[in-house]
A and B are shown apart, each in its own frame.
Chain A
Amino acid sequence: MGRAEREYGITVSPLPAGTAASKEYSLTELMVIAGAREIADGEMVFVGMRLPLLAYAVAKRTHAPNAIGLYDNGIIRMTASAEPLHTVGDPANVGGATLCGQTIDVMGYLQQGRVQVGFLGGAEVDRFGNVNTMWGSRGGEAHRLPGSGGGCDIACLAQRSVVMIPHQRDRFRESVGHVTSPGYGSGNGWREAHRLPARTGPSAIISDLGIMRFGSDGEAFLASIHPGVQVEQVLAATGWTLRVADALLDTSAPSGAELEAVRAVDPDRLWTR
């Protein structure tokens, strides 16, 4: 059991048996890299905590050196931080920052529609990309989760929101118990009906088994499957009948540069064992 699981109760799907991939990289490392690949060079990115923090750092070191990072505490960075970060408030995130402003400043950029990509972590996600970070349940008992943080703001206002979440049946639910951060609600037309700005909404759910994208009806489908993972495995780990793309892609294995980057930004392998 990795440190992340022991210390924080985060569980990540076990590696498939006999996967060549397991000898070179973990599926969680690939998950972070897949998140990084959602950022195009030069884009403005609202960076969250933990896995999203790593994904942004990897993107900056590889294909998106000109991406602009916005952080909840008001920090804006055009350059990657010199050290791996535990939180957005680490002194290494302030050192070398482009601008250290207020929360309301970065939120203004988000609400103006300038932010192309925002990342969300979550306890649960559902078939329409709604995310729950408010109430979870374990062994039938409901328990409180940390709450929205900036997640709801990102889900409402970013052009493309990307959810990063381990792929487990109790996390991939037919319907989340609490819509903390809205995806496509109950399907197409929902966001418009609920007055959410045009040209916003989730563009991907990235897990340690594959990448899901959204059809025009707002429902998620499996678009890409990670190396060594079987479709049946993904379906079994999803709490609804997950649609699979006719032209299902294989997630590209990490390049040397990407793997080096992910290991540099998580040297203790706390999140990417």
Chain B
Amino acid sequence: MARHVPSGSMIVLGTQLAQMIPFAAGHELIRQGKRDLTLVGPASDILFDQMIGAGCVWRVMASCIGNLRGGVGYCYRRAVVRQIPQRLDTVDYTNLTMALALHAAAMGVPFMPTYSTFGSDLGAKNGNLREFPSPVNEDKLIAVRALRPDVAIVHVQRADISGNAHLWGSLGVAVDAVRAARSAIVIAEEIVAPEVIASDPNRTLIPEFLVAAVVHEPFGAHPSPVQGYYGRDHAFFTQYHEQSRELDDFEQWLQRWVLRVPGRAEYMKQLGDCRVAELAVREHAYSAPADFGY
């Protein structure tokens, strides 16, 4: 984080929507005192809220900002309405237009067209959505400007030390995000031998040449789930929702779970073996092997 994510960066994270949100990375950015970040992503559940509450963020570009089950991010709301802890700029997208903004950058073109957002007030404030006449028929379309973040932070199940990564489950916008960004940081539950990754090239969704750094961080996505590794900690989300409603409570929460915790290992110890055991995979479900032989 120190080397690749300076203050002022535009970071895309939370690319798999409700799964594999890189909480450990986000918490480390908070501890390092990053400022003036632009956060990009479709929906990052409570991670965006935490980073906003910690004063790291000056702009959010997203389609949904809040506690997915609770409905509202209190830190986010305080920032937008009362400028606490500081003023926050928001650029509102929809899930489709966010996906297209990253896809355009991944495809190396200045925009991607869509019919979505016509008639919505969302387009009025988002200058990255512009109406234009189709050059091939009579339609009018919306051009979604390409978005090129500085860094993509993506949590995956496994990667080799060069950064080739397998990820599975909810994919969201991860594949386009790593191509759209200038560089990617891959955070893996497991680092495996290169032969393991090479054995299933259809599952290698992130190639090493896009990756600036690989981090081995088991439980790096808690409280969000990682398919095959651990479940969603519903109680943790609910507790965060309760404890972020009032500013004082949020500040205490931040001390307890981020600022006074040196890293993810200590965080998991604080969570306790009991909770960790509850989240463990109850029944493994391995895929059928794919024979790449010839």
A: residues with CB less than 8 A from B are: 7-10, 49-50, 72-75, 86-91, 93-95, 100-104, 107, 110-111, 134, 141-153, 155-157, 178-182, 185, 190-191, 194-197
- A141/B171 in contact, CB under 8 A: no
Determine which of A7, A49, A88, A156 lies in contact with B115 in the assembled complex, contact meaning CB atoms within 8 Å.
A156
Q: Kindly list chain A residues whose C-beta atoms are within 8 Å of the C-beta of B16.
A: 73, 89
Known: A49-B68, A102-B99. 10 other contacts (CB 8 A): A8-B71, A74-B171, A86-B69, A87-B232, A89-B224, A89-B225, A100-B170, A144-B65, A147-B66, A152-B94
A149 in contact with B241 (CB, 8 Å):
no
Q: Are A88 and B17 in contact (CB under 8 A)?
A: yes
CB of A8 within 8 A of CB of B120, answer no
**B259 close to chain A: CB less than 8 A:** no
Provide the residues of chain B in CB contact with A111, threshold 8 Å: 96, 114-116
Answer yes or no: B227 CB below 8 A from chain A CBs: yes
Interface residues of B (CB under 8 A from A): 16-19, 42-43, 62-66, 68-73, 76-77, 80-81, 90, 92-97, 99-100, 103, 114-122, 131, 139-140, 168-176, 224-225, 227, 231-232, 234, 238, 241-242, 285
Whether A156 lies near B171 (C-beta < 8 A) is: no
Contact A143 B43 (CB under 8 A): no
Contact between A103 and B118, CB atoms less than 8 A apart: no
Task: Give min CB distance, B237 to chain A, whole Å.
Answer: 8
How far apart are the CA atoms of A102 and B69 in the complex, in Å? 22
Q: Are B96 and A89 in contact (CB under 8 A)?
A: no
Contact between B17 and A89 (Cβ–Cβ < 8 Å)?
yes
Known: A144-B81, A152-B116, A196-B115. Is A73-B17 also a contact (CB below 8 A)?
yes
6 A-B pairs closest in CB distance: A89-B18, A182-B119, A146-B66, A149-B64, A73-B17, A194-B119
Shortest Cβ distance from A49 into B: residue: B68
Whole-angstrom CA separation of A134 from B119 in the bound complex = 15
Q: How many A-B residue pairs have CB under 8 A?
A: 196
CB neighbours of A153 from chain B (8 A):
94-97, 116
Closest Cβ neighbor of B226 among chain A residues: A91
Given A111-B96, A153-B96, is A50 in contact with B116 using a C-beta cutoff of 8 Å? Answer: no
B173 near A156 with CB under 8 A, answer: no
| Contacting pair B81 A143 (CB below 8 A) | yes
Contact A75 B63, CB 8 Å, known A107-B96, A111-B96, A143-B81:
no
B99 in contact with A104 (CB, 8 Å): yes
Q: Determine whether the beta carbon of B118 is less than 8 Å from that of A182.
A: yes
| Residue among A148, A190, A195, A197 with most chain B CB within 10 A | A148
Contact assessment for A134 and B43 in the assembled complex, using a CB-CB cutoff below 8 Å: no
Nearest opposing residue in chain A for B231, CB measure: A91
Which A residues touch B17, using CB under 8 A?
Answer: 72-73, 88-89, 103
Q: Pick the residue among B73, B139, B225 that contacts A91 (CB under 8 A).
A: B225
Name the distance in Å between B27's Cβ and chain A's nearest Cβ: 20
Q: List B contacts of A155 (CB < 8 A).
A: 120
Q: A104-B173, A146-B65, A179-B120 are in contact. Are A141 and B81 (CB under 8 A)?
A: yes
Contact between chains at B170 and A179 (CB < 8 Å): no
> Shortest Cβ distance from B73 into chain A, in angstroms?
7
Residues of chain A within 8 A of B116, CB atoms compared = 111, 152-153, 156-157
B171 touches A72 (CB 8 A): no
Decide: A147 near B115, CB < 8 A? Known: A86-B69, A87-B69.
no
How far apart sit A252 and B170, CA to CA, in the bound complex (Å)?
A: 37
